[in-house]
Amino acid sequence: MTEHLVDPQTPRDLKAFIAGLPKAELHVHHVGSASPRIVSELAARHPDSKVPTDPEALADYFTFTDFAHFIEVYLSVVDLIRTPEDVRLLTYEVARELARQQVRYAELTITPFSSTRRGIDERAFMDAIEDARKAAEAEFGTVLRWCFDIPGEAGLEAAEETARLATDDRLRPEGLVSFGLGGPEVGVPRPQFKPYFDRAIAAGLHSVPHAGETTGPETVWDALTHLRAERIGHGTSAAQDPKLLAHLAEHRIALEVCPTSNIATRAVRTLDEHPIKEFARAGVVVTINSDDPPMFGTDLQNEYAVAARLLGLDERGLADLAKNAVEVSFLDDAGKTRIKGEIDSYTAEWLGR
């Protein structure tokens, strides 16, 4: 992302620190990470689409009236991904952008149902993401892992298909570590997805549903109770329930906080009203993430800058935030130790300048 996107209230020195800080990204969507260049290129290839071909016009197109409007626009971009080569290119370019921001490890949320139902062969889909993952690690040094999410509003057919793709030994990609649930929450109760999460967990996957992004704290409780969530995507409304905050803190169930996303989808009115401070105050493990960065006019660096301002963090505080993400990631222990060591060395060197 360009300089103008970095939170304007962040001191220049802290901005530079954030830019070089080794980071982990735990909540970022595959299609939602398509850069304006990729989106406009794909839109030009498919003139039947209403997505603008001019990257400049995308900023307007990516201005959302509410969460439902965001999902409508999101699906118009999903419609542009039509071939395994589109999938490979998108994945590889997402990794390039993450590497540019010093992201060493990322768990990318992918919705395979949306691609297979649009006619992409399932085997070719898996090969495309795996091919991009391996190339990205070799060329950029960024380790990618996958979270396959159910688009909840598409119903149990989508849940069945996602669970099948995630657990079939002949298809399941090597990089897959977790199972999620995305899309609108209103009218999409979490408990109905319990059997699919049970299957995924039995197959060794971690549970990371979205919850409490656009509905109340009861949705977060449902995600914990029925889906055995190990981390929560967003969890914004948890701030309304002190018992829930205490439970999250006690069990070290981290929140994948995405501040700018919540403003862009109008789930929260302003950044100053974001409950991230309440989370931190209650001792909940907070991780900072970008969700759908180009669609929300942000990137991970900007989200760290926003967090620094809202939480009043200096360099050490930011390094702790980056280490939180590494600790609650699904990377192996050796990988975690390596990245945390890199964060510590970088911070010590920066502060000793």
Which residue among 97, 213, 256, 303 is the active-site one? 213
CA distance 200 to 189: 18
CA distance 103 to 101: 5
16 binds, among ligand LNDFFVEH, Zn ion, none (CB under 5 to 8 A by kind): none
Per the listing, tokens 């959302």 go with 64
Q: Where in 173-192 is the site for ligand LNDFFVEH (CB under 6 A)?
A: 182-183
Size of the site for Zn ion (CB under 5 A): 1
User: CB of residue 210 vs ligand LNDFFVEH: minimum separation in angstroms?
Assistant: 5
Size of the site for ligand LNDFFVEH (CB under 6 A): 21
H-helix segments, the chain? 12-20, 36-45, 55-61, 67-78, 84-100, 112-116, 122-140, 155-167, 194-202, 217-225, 242-250, 259-264, 276-281, 300-311, 315-327, 333-351
Rounded-to-10 torsion of CA 60, 62, 63, 64: 150
309 binds, among ligand LNDFFVEH, Zn ion, none (CB under 5 to 8 A by kind): none
Binding characters for ligand LNDFFVEH, 78-117, by CB under 6 A (x = yes): x------------------------------x-x--x--x
Q: Looking at 17, 22, 24, 32, which residue binds ligand LNDFFVEH (CB under 6 A)?
A: 32
User: Is residue 25 involved in binding Zn ion (CB under 5 A)?
Assistant: no
SS3 38: helix
User: Is residue 291 involved in binding Zn ion (CB under 5 A)?
Assistant: yes
Whichever of 79 and 291 has its CB closer to Zn ion, that residue is 291
Q: Distances from the Cα of 196 to the Cαs of 102, 156, 185, 212, 288, in angstroms?
A: 35, 9, 17, 20, 28
Kindly state the helix (H) or strand (E) to which residue 104 belongs, with its residue range. strand 103-110
Q: Looking at 29, 88, 226, 323, which residue binds ligand LNDFFVEH (CB under 6 A)?
A: 29
- Applying CB under 6 A, the span of 38-46, 150-158, 238-246, 331-339 interacting with ligand LNDFFVEH comes to 150-158
Show the tokens assigned to 310: 């809202």
Whichever of 114 and 301 has its CB closer to ligand LNDFFVEH, that residue is 114
Instruction: Strand 286-288: give its sheet, edge to edge.
Output: 210-211, 231-234, 254-257, 286-288
CA distance 281 to 278: 5
- Applying CB under 6 A, the span of 67-75, 132-140, 190-198, 314-322 interacting with ligand LNDFFVEH comes to 67-75
State yes or no: is 213 an active-site residue. yes
Whichever of 78 and 126 has its CB closer to ligand LNDFFVEH, that residue is 78
Whichever of 263 and 343 has its CB closer to ligand LNDFFVEH, that residue is 263
Assign 3-class secondary structure to 214-277: CCCHHHHHHHHHCCCCCEEEECHHHHHCHHHHHHHHHCCCEEEECHHHHHHCCCCCCHHHCCHH
The pair phi, psi for residue 138, each rounded to 5°, is: -70, -40
151 binds, among ligand LNDFFVEH, Zn ion, none (CB under 5 to 8 A by kind): ligand LNDFFVEH
CA distance 163 to 196: 6
Q: Are 7 and 307 in contact (CB under 8 A)?
A: no
User: CB of residue 210 vs Zn ion: minimum separation in angstroms?
Assistant: 5
Q: Where in 238-297 is the site for ligand LNDFFVEH (CB under 6 A)?
A: 261, 291-292
The site for Zn ion (CB under 5 A) is made up of 291
**Which residues are designated catalytic?**
213
The site for ligand LNDFFVEH (CB under 6 A) is made up of 29, 32, 71, 74-75, 78, 109, 111, 114, 117, 149, 151, 153-154, 182-183, 210, 213, 261, 291-292
